[in-house]
């Protein structure tokens, strides 16, 4: 049952990173939109789905709390500040999306909130991931650090890397969902962000391997893991090919694949630890009775319901958006 909940946690996190990632990326790119009409179309492209995308973060948090409560209790004090920053950013962008179309003279304020909130949320998520990958000071299943472990150069670089990655996802979404000027904007952004994202990700991967002998040993011991970077390289080539040939759906799908491969590489680097080099899955798992009890509710009904709702939402709101279909 522990493997089931680990798979559900990983799936929820990956869904959040991909789905909320592209709408956070659109928010970051909105800061470079240049004019109101273009920004209106960018907001319209995510308006039917942005709030539902955040559901996956709730699912991941609830799964962590129920199935791995010791990890939840350990990570929360370690990430108070980045989590607070992320929530402030998510709240700011949510309010901005709802309020910006209700005013004319003050719209610039909400435009700034939409951009800054998206940037802050994305950056703080990346910084938290960087701190997690570095390893946290843990004694007797308790966090004993200062709470500033996320503020290292490596973690801040991870924050920047995730902003770039989300921007790439957002650019792919805009190119796929819009037409005319906004589609051209997204198309140009893909070309500019792809290589910056790959460089940033390569630095993160190399630094992790060099600074953690345990990770290097795991990759050396399990040679099959090298399939993941090869798949990431092929996905990158697929993005570049789709961009060059205006195959925008291929470009976006390959970007999603790149994120999925990067996520799996991160997880595979640290297993069987759920908190790197401190807490294993077996040590962190809730009692079997608790996991079974959760399965009959969250596992059997809630997850399929959220998957179904997500599929319906994207099915109903498929197709292109334009200036005539702005958020209201």
pLDDT the model gives residue 327: 54
Q: What stretch of H or E contains 281?
A: helix 281-284
Residue-wise DSSP of 209-248:
HHH-HHHHHHHHH-GGGGHHHHHHHHHHHHHHHHHHTT-H
Domain that holds residue 299: 8-189+281-317
Q: Residue 117 contacts by C-beta under 8 Å, 6 or more apart in sequence? A: 27, 88, 89, 90, 91, 92, 93, 94, 96
The structural domain count of the chain equals: 1
**pLDDT computed for residue 166 by the predictor:** 96
Query: Would you give the distance in Å from CA 326 to the centre of its chain?
Result: 25
241 belongs to a structural domain: no
pTM here is 0.92
**Are 297 and 153 contacting, i.e. CB atoms less than 8 angstroms apart?**
no
Note the pLDDT of residue 116.
95
**213 within a domain of the structure (yes/no):** no
pLDDT of residue 125: 94
What is the predicted pLDDT for the residue at 326? 59
Instruction: Give the integer Cα–Cα distance in Å for 269 and 222.
Output: 10
Q: Determine the pLDDT at residue 4.
A: 86
Examine residue 50 and state whether it is found in any structural domain, yes or no.
yes
Domain presence at residue 215: no
**């005539």: which residue's tokens?**
324
Residue 63 lies in a domain: yes
How far is residue 307 CA from its own chain's centroid?
Answer: 17
- For residue 97, being part of any structural domain is answered with yes
In a domain, 224, yes or no: no
Report the pLDDT value the prediction gives residue 173, as an integer from 0 to 100: 95
Q: Is residue 245 part of a domain?
A: no
Predicted confidence pLDDT, tens digits, the chain (328 residues): 778 888 889 999 999 999 999 999 999 999 998 888 888 899 999 988 888 898 899 999 888 888 888 889 888 888 999 999 999 999 999 999 888 888 778 888 999 999 999 999 999 999 999 998 888 888 888 888 888 888 899 999 999 999 999 999 999 999 999 988 899 999 999 999 999 999 998 899 888 888 888 888 888 888 888 899 899 999 999 999 999 998 989 999 999 999 999 999 888 888 888 888 888 888 888 888 888 888 887 778 888 888 998 999 899 888 888 656 555 5
| 105 three-state secondary structure | coil
């Amino acid at each position: 049952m522990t493997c089931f909940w680990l798979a559900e946690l990983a799936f929820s996190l990956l869904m959040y990173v991909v789905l909320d990632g592209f709408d956070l990326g659109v928010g970051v790119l909105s800061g470079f939109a240049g004019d109101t009409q273009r920004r209106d179309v960018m907001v319209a492209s995510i308006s039917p789905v942005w709030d539902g995308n955040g559901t996956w973060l709730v699912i991941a948090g609830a799964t962590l709390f129920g199935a791995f409560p010791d990890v939840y209790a350990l990570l929360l004090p370690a990430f108070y500040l980045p989590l607070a920053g992320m929530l402030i950013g998510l709240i700011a962008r949510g309010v901005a999306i709802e309020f910006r179309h209700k005013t004319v003279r003050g719209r610039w304020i909400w435009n700034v909130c939409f951009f800054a909130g998206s940037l802050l949320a994305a950056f703080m998520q990346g910084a938290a991931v960087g701190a997690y990958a570095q390893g946290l000071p843990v004694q007797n299943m308790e966090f004993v650090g200062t709470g500033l472990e996320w503020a290292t150069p490596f973690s801040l670089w991870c924050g920047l890397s995730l902003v770039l990655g989300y921007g790439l996802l957002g650019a792919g979404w805009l190119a796929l969902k819009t037409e005319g000027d906004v589609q051209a904007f997204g198309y140009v952004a893909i070309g500019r962000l792809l290589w910056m994202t790959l460089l940033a990700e390569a630095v993160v991967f190399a630094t992790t391997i060099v600074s953690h002998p345990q990770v290097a040993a795991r990759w050396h011991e399990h040679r099959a893991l090298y399939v993941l970077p090869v798949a990431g390289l092929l996905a990158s080539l697929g993005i570049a090919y789709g961009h060059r040939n205006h195959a925008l759906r291929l470009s976006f799908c390959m970007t999603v694949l790149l994120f999925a491969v990067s996520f799996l590489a991160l997880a595979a680097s640290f297993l069987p630890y759920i908190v790197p080099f401190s807490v294993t899955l077996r040590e962190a798992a809730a009692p079997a009775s608790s996991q079974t009890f959760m399965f009959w509710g969250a596992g059997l009904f809630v997850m399929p319901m959220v998957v179904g709702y997500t599929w319906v939402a994207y099915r109903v709101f498929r197709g292109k958006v334009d200036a005539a279909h702005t958020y209201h």
